[in-house]
Structure 1
Amino acid sequence: MKKQSKWMVGLVCLFAGFMVAVQFQTTAGEPEIRDTRDEWEVREALVKQQDVQQELLQKISEADQTIENYEEKSSAEQVAALKKSIEKLEKKVGLTEVEGEGVSIEISAIFIENIEGVQAYPAVTPQLLSRLLNELNTFGADEIAIGNERITSLSPVRDVNGSTYVNNRPFPPLPVQIKVLTDQPEKLRDYIHASQSKEIFNIENLDLQAEVKEELTLPKYDDPLHLKIFKEIGE
């Protein structure tokens, strides 16, 4: 194999490794905390981790096939194919704005308390939000955005000093709009209205209303990913 071809295959291997790392990143590097989940939540987490493992195995298989395909191409073809793979990855991890049909969900307070003349809104905790996001993914969501924050496999939902943070930024004040792209918007809307999340949100003085939209625009994921090395290959 020519030296240039070996160099290209090396870059492909690096790119393939990055694809797997993107999928794995959400399961690594989190601080260890005491597990206070109930049996249902543990089972839900186990199913989710099994899905993640299956997806990782699929990504590894796809990466192996990608490397094999690159080895069979000329240098010019390798560059073109690599750029195409980068564009596909950017879209998959949310680095591009997307449009399509879907469902608009509004989270609002059922009633607002007035404490000493100050309006007190109910809180959307990380647990509530994570449960809702998990159910949306289970019900067929393709892409999700909360306010101006695109939700991807890299998006953390955390408690920071008693406040909910998404993508390391504060959860916006109520009412909050969640945009969901899906190829079955009516079905997803009906699922939401009959979901456990809606019941639990109601208990916490929060309302979920879902409405089908023919056209929704979701922002790109703002936090940078280090793909510059790949973009410079063909320049």
Structure 2
Amino acid sequence: MKRKTHWKFTLILGIVGFVLALQYNSMNTASPRDTRDLWAIRKELSSEKKIHSELLEEIREIDQTLVAYNASPEANAASVLQDTLDKLYKQAGFMPTTGPGFVIEVAPSPESIAFGYEIKPVSSELLAWFINVVNQQQGNELEIDGKRFTTLSWIRDINGNLTVSGEVVSTPPFNIKVVSPSKEASEKLYNQLLTTAIQDEFYLDDFVLTISEPEERITLQGWTGGFENRFLKEQTKE
């Protein structure tokens, strides 16, 4: 009888000890500290404020469009709608655009030519990384080997060939054109590309990037891939 009572007492003490250990551990487990320095926090805050400002600008443009619709007579509503449609087409890259920018030549490295290496197409991963670097700044537009790159475009390796939206990109040399919203933005991107590791990454694949200095006017052709309307329906008057 005593042995049975002693076993129960031991079990109860074990459970109580386990619960106390869990409680002590939860009370003494410190939440992870933010170890970033002040400049890193300020940089993130600046990025968030920039996004907030861009969203406010988009809302302001939409409000102005709504005001124009409501203030225009029915006869001019079609004109306002066409202006909005043209703007959206331009933003989507369907129309040619001209602005400040620069041209980048992608060419085989001198060493690969001197040693007679086979010149291969640029890999889709490398080109995608380049595009991500360019798109770190908002508003930049691209044309890759004469093919407009838009939000509807995609990059793939198909049968050993680099393609943009299904169109084969030439084996280097070829040009990449970049147009920015302003001259200041173009110069900032230009300096960024000169200082980032993207040139080294191309060189590791036996390619050299030659980046021309920013110009006032660079023209990109419109995207010719077409657009498939799957959901919008034209409403007719009865």
Indicate which of 132, 135, 156 corresponds to 2:133: 135
Q: CA offset at residue 67 of structure 1?
A: 5.8
Question: Which is further off, 71-80 or 166-175?
Answer: 71-80
- 1:90-101 pair list within 5 angstroms: 90-101=89-100
d(CA) in 2 for partners of 1:60 and 1:157? 31
Counterpart residue identity of residue 195, structure 1? T
CA RMSD of aligned residues (A): 3.5
Aligned length: 178
**Which residue of 1 is the match for residue 225 of structure 2?**
223
d(CA) in 2 for partners of 1:230 and 1:98? 28
d(CA) in 2 for partners of 1:109 and 1:192? 18
**Which residue of 2 is the match for residue 214 of structure 1?**
216
**Which residue of 2 is the match for residue 104 of structure 1?**
103
**Which residue of 1 is the match for residue 150 of structure 2?**
152
**Which residue of 2 is the match for residue 24 of structure 1?**
none
d(CA) in 2 for partners of 1:230 and 1:142? 31
Counterpart residue identity of residue 135, structure 1? V
Q: CA offset at residue 201 of structure 1?
A: 1.2
- 1:17-166 pair list within 5 angstroms: 66=65, 70=69, 73-110=72-109, 111-112=111-112, 120-139=118-137, 142-166=140-164
**Structure 1, gaps ≥5 residues long:** 1-54
Question: 2:96, 2:221 within 8 Å by CA — same for their partners in 1?
Answer: yes
Length-normalised TM-score, structure 2: 0.62
Q: CA offset at residue 196 of structure 1?
A: 2.5
Where 2:222 maps in the other structure, the secondary structure is: coil
Length-normalised TM-score, structure 1: 0.63
Counterpart residue identity of residue 167, structure 2? R
**Which residue of 2 is the match for residue 33 of structure 1?**
none
**Structure 2, gaps ≥5 residues long:** 1-53
**Which residue of 2 is the match for residue 203 of structure 1?**
204
Question: 1:109, 1:206 within 8 Å by CA — same for their partners in 2?
Answer: yes
Where 1:120 maps in the other structure, the secondary structure is: coil
Where 1:138 maps in the other structure, the secondary structure is: coil
Where 1:112 maps in the other structure, the secondary structure is: helix
